[in-house]
Structure 1
Amino acid sequence: MTTLMSAPPAQKAPKAEGGLLDLVLRARELSILGALVVLVAVTAIVNPRFLYAQGVEDIFLNASILVLLAVGQTLVVITRNIDLSVGSVVGLVAFITGKYVSGDDRSVVMAILIGLAVGALCGLVNGLLVSFCGVPALVVTLGTLYVIQGIGYYIAQGDQINAADVPQSLLDLGSGGVLGLPYLPLIAVLVMAAVGYYLRAYPSGREFYAIGSSPEAARLAGVPIRRRVLTAYVVSGLLAGLAGVLWLARFGTVVADAAGGWELKVVSAVVVGGVAIVGGVGTVYGAALGALLLTTIGSVLVVLKVNSFWQDALTGLLLLLAISVDRLLALRMDRVLRKRSAHHVS
């Protein structure tokens, strides 16, 4: 009788631990959402024009490209890696697709496919070097950042793509919409939802978290670590390629170093959004909220006529704060789980 009564708690323990982790993640995402609401409300009080329809639309349009990059970066960071080449990939793809569509009777669909292919190829190179060659991700992606930049400068030869040379059908993708909703945010939301659902609902998606939580345990459990890490980099490159095409559609005028420095913005958005830099924890939804928060901060500073220097300072401060919170939460969860394990053993 005693054995039968003590069995259920032991079976429920893993669920309780998973529930604790889900609760922490939800708390992080809700705190970001709350900070976003407070920021918007305070700014609207100071300057009511901030919430005019055009202003709100501009925020979502500007955040969309960063959200796409953050979703791809999330996959990489969850596996305990990083991709610093995404900004360079965006610039390269934007210029290559701009060159392509500047010709006569160029297909916009083909331009998008070219952008996706270039981005996927860059991700494939990163993934092969990291997963199969064992080179540290920081070294690989820092190197490919400069290589891709160099290729972009070589192709550009000092030229730039002008909006007048870009087909209106492609420019409409960056400024148009359907049923009153802009295309760019819709694309970002669809991609975010698809990747988020895959990570949560499919066993192969959960394997990304297993790799980040404990690579050795994941290996012993039969998880194809190299294949999953390679997949993460290819998806990150693919989304960077898509972001490059959308960059061209959004801004029209493109130079060789478009999106230069954006790799740090992307990493900041991901970490501020609750994705642990040490891997294994976080969601694409939190990363998207982090991207939206950083974009909103930039818009708020412009509206309040604050020096743009403070945007970088605030981004750095939020990054340090997020990493510190991650560390404190990790220590707290470790203590809680140890107490629960000791309780069940006793």
Structure 2
Amino acid sequence: MTTLLDQPPTGTGTGGARSARSLVDAVFRAREISIAGALALLILFTWISNPRFLDDQGVKDLLLNASILVLLAVGQSVVVVTRNIDLSVGSVVGLSAFACGKFVAGTDHGVLTVLLLGIALGIALGIACGLVSGALVSFGRVPALVVTLGMLYIIQGLDYWWAQGEQISANDVPDRILGLGSGGVLGVPYLPLIALALLAGTAYFLRSYRSGRELYAIGSNPEAARLAGVPIRRRVLGAYAFSGAVAGFAGALWLARFGTVVADNAHGWELTVVSAVVVGGVAITGGTGTVWGAALGALLLTTIGSALIVLKVDAFWQGAITGALLLAAISVDRIVSLRMTAALRKRSARHGNGA
């Protein structure tokens, strides 16, 4: 969804802006509906081929597997709508997971306090990494691709240096912490509920708060946003800090989910996260898309991976399918963008002639 800054409700220009906004909203709602339809068809086909795919354990595993990717997709979406990218999220997850694992390893008292402090530690590490990337991109004006790719390798190097080949096993992690990754309420696992809460909160912020809408304005037209008085540098810095915080939080949940932690956890996930966001309808050129669509994209990619395993298809095809979906999504975004631009120009011309 493209969201424009608030404008006064007077004049023909406002009617044109509302009309343009309605057109863009309709296009991206259709995109999200098509993703949901593809997801439903995939689940149906896999279930017909193997009914155990949707038994209680199968559904639980599907939700658990998608939760961390959904979280990362939400954080990445906030960055991408500003016409930037964060390729460091996978390495931040690995660093956060290992740091939290070292912190809680062997703890046998005050588990709840240790759990909260461990999560806070993961978030703090993520925010620190996000602020470094955001400062270089927003204030240093270094291309986001270069900055975050460099941060990816720097954080990975720090993680490997710290770990020195050490592995934290589930036996070192308190049971109550592991229970956060495997337990649930009323049969629903905790992790999907956490992901849903963050997803809903972020979607509400982007839609209802001016600072959230300004992120879309920056991605749509940075120069126009600057002339409108939008604090672009602060907003971009905040977007990276949020993405880092989410990645750090996801690292703490990674520990709870899997128990075993090594230095290269989530290695390569940054590309999967970007693919989920773009497939979900968040344009890589910024300014359009929703976190709901990004979450659907993450769920679709996760379901593809699970379906291929159930159908006993070579795992190679998961990467090939993900790449094909990414190329298709970018191509569709480009075609839709060109057609919408042409349609909006025609509509503006009609309004101008009628004025």
* TM-score grouping bracket, smaller chain normalisation: over 0.9
- Secondary structure class of the residue paired with 1:121: helix
Q: For residues 8 and 180 of structure 1, what CA distance do their matches in structure 2 show?
A: 54
2:280 aligned with 1:273: yes
CA drift of 1:12 comes to 2.4
2:64 aligned with 1:57: no
CA contact (8 A) 2:60 2:188 kept: no
310-319 vs 96-105, which moves further:
96-105
- Secondary structure class of the residue paired with 1:64: helix
Q: 2:306 aligns with which of 290, 299, 302?
A: 299
- Normalised by the length of structure 2, the TM-score is 0.94
Matched residue, 2:124? 117
**What RMSD over aligned residues (CA atoms) do the two structures have, in Å?**
1.1
Q: For residues 344 and 74 of structure 1, what CA distance do their matches in structure 2 show?
A: 34
Matches within 5 A, 1:112-191: 112-191=119-198
- Normalised by the length of structure 1, the TM-score is 0.97
121-130 vs 291-300, which moves further:
121-130
Matched residue, 1:236? 243
Q: For residues 224 and 339 of structure 2, what CA distance do their matches in structure 1 show?
A: 22
AA partner of residue 16 (structure 1): S
Q: 1:24 aligns with which of 6, 24, 27?
A: 27
Unmatched segments (≥5 aa) in structure 2? 1-9
Matches within 5 A, 1:229-268: 229-268=236-275
Q: For residues 180 and 166 of structure 2, what CA distance do their matches in structure 1 show?
A: 24
Q: 1:96 aligns with which of 69, 94, 99?
A: 99
Q: 1:344 to 1:244 in 2, by over 3 A?
A: same
Matched residue, 2:209? 202
CA drift of 1:173 comes to 0.5
Q: 1:334 aligns with which of 312, 335, 341?
A: 341
Per-residue Cα deviation, 1:157-186 (whole angstroms, up to 9, x for no partner): 101010000011110110111122111000
Matched residue, 1:317? 324
Give the percent of matched residue pairs that are identical in Structure 1 and Structure 2: 67
AA partner of residue 90 (structure 1): V
Unmatched segments (≥5 aa) in structure 1? 1-6
Per-residue Cα deviation, 1:176-220 (whole angstroms, up to 9, x for no partner): 111221110000000000000000011111000000001000000
Q: 1:79 aligns with which of 82, 93, 102?
A: 82
Q: How many residues align?
A: 340
Per-residue Cα deviation, 1:5-29 (whole angstroms, up to 9, x for no partner): xx98665222111111110110010
Q: Which runs of 4+ in 1 moved over 4 A?
A: 7-11
Q: For residues 238 and 106 of structure 2, what CA distance do their matches in structure 1 show?
A: 34
Matched residue, 1:15? 18
CA drift of 1:49 comes to 1.0
Q: For residues 209 and 110 of structure 1, what CA distance do their matches in structure 2 show?
A: 34
Q: For residues 57 and 279 of structure 2, what CA distance do their matches in structure 1 show?
A: 27
2:28 aligned with 1:40: no
AA partner of residue 202 (structure 1): Y
AA partner of residue 297 (structure 1): I
- Secondary structure class of the residue paired with 1:159: coil
Q: For residues 112 and 167 of structure 1, what CA distance do their matches in structure 2 show?
A: 14
